[in-house]
Amino acid sequence: MKPLVDLVYPPRCPLCGTALADQDGLCADCWSLLDIPGEGGGEAVAAWHDHGRPVPAHAATFYNDASRRLVLDYKHGRRIALARLLARLIAARLPETDAGLGKPVLVPVPLHRWRLWQRGFNQAALLAVELARLGKGEVLVDGLLRRKRTPSLGGLGREARDRALAGAIIVNPRRRAAIAGRDVVLVDDVFTSGATARACVGALAGADARSVSVACFARVDDGGHRGASPKNETPEAL
């Protein structure tokens, strides 16, 4: 099947269009544009705290012009096939799980039903599915629910962001038993201020998750950015 797919859709770099040997990759020049944590560009894990709990945040890249283009093409350009590439990069940053504890539960950041209807897919859910295929956990697509629409968080301070998200995200009552006592990995495409992550982590902790960590494709560095700004282009980003 692969040769037929390559014949119909010749492999090309999603950033510059250069011909590639395989699907789901980047050319060498575009790989070099990604700002990979740990490669002279900062830490691979950003440990932050939510109400005193340490929450590791594993990011595949820092948010810069190259990662921004991939995110926008994936999410707003509807190039959902990019989920495989982004998930592979995320998977490379996730720690190996303790065999005795079992695989973690992969829970995507939820979209409100109206945004899901408008976009047609939840980009975080597709990443979680791909991570599960890569052996990084068991996906629980509907583990969290966003029960009310929230405004764009761009330009708001921490307190205003938290107020906007208060009560917006809850654990799906039908999935509480699947979360209780389990290690949970919260999955999304971009980590910005942490406001959405705080709401999700709080909900998961309230459902007695054993631990919660975050996995994302791109992380805005130190509350700023590296060559690109998320602005309001990724309004439901972490």
Determine the average pLDDT of the residues in 143-148. Answer: 92
- 216 lies in which domain range? 39-223
Cβ 180 vs Cβ 208: under 8 Å:
yes
Q: What CA–CA distance (Å, rounded) separates 238 from 234?
A: 9
Percent of the chain with pLDDT over 70: 76
Asked if the structure places residue 236 within a domain, the reply is no
Q: Considering only 24-38, 49-63, 168-182, which range has the smallest mean pLDDT?
A: 49-63
Q: What CA–CA distance (Å, rounded) separates 165 from 146?
A: 9
Q: Are 19 and 47 within one domain?
A: no
Determine the average pLDDT of the residues in 169-187. Answer: 96
Res 9 pLDDT > 60: no
pTM (2 decimals)? 0.85
Q: Are 151 and 204 within one domain?
A: yes
Asked if the structure places residue 237 within a domain, the reply is no
Q: Are 56 and 21 within one domain?
A: no
Q: Are 70 and 163 within one domain?
A: yes
Q: Are 203 and 102 within one domain?
A: yes
> CA triplet 218, 223, 229: central angle to 5 degrees?
60
Q: Are 185 and 89 within one domain?
A: yes
Q: Which of 48-62, 93-107, 221-235 has the highest mean pLDDT?
A: 93-107
Asked if the structure places residue 230 within a domain, the reply is no
Determine the average pLDDT of the residues in 105-113. Answer: 94
In angstroms, the Cα distances linking 155 to 160, 206, 220, 232 are 10, 29, 15, 9
User: Between 164 and 3, where is the model more confident?
Assistant: 164
Q: Are 25 and 109 within one domain?
A: no
Asked if the structure places residue 229 within a domain, the reply is no
> What total number of domains does the chain contain?
2
pLDDT for residue 8 = 41
CATH code of the domain in which 119 resides: 3.40.50.2020
pLDDT for residue 77 = 86
Q: Are 145 and 65 within one domain?
A: yes
pLDDT for residue 192 = 83
pLDDT for residue 165 = 75
pLDDT for residue 167 = 80
pLDDT category of residue 180 using cuts at 50, 70 and 90:
very high
Q: Encode pLDDT of 60-107 as tens digits.
A: 999 999 999 999 999 988 889 999 999 999 999 998 877 667 899 999
Q: Are 97 and 18 within one domain?
A: no
Q: Are 79 and 17 within one domain?
A: no
Q: Which of 1-15, 104-118, 161-175 has the highest mean pLDDT?
A: 104-118
Q: Are 28 and 136 within one domain?
A: no
In single-letter form, the type of residue at position 186 comes to L
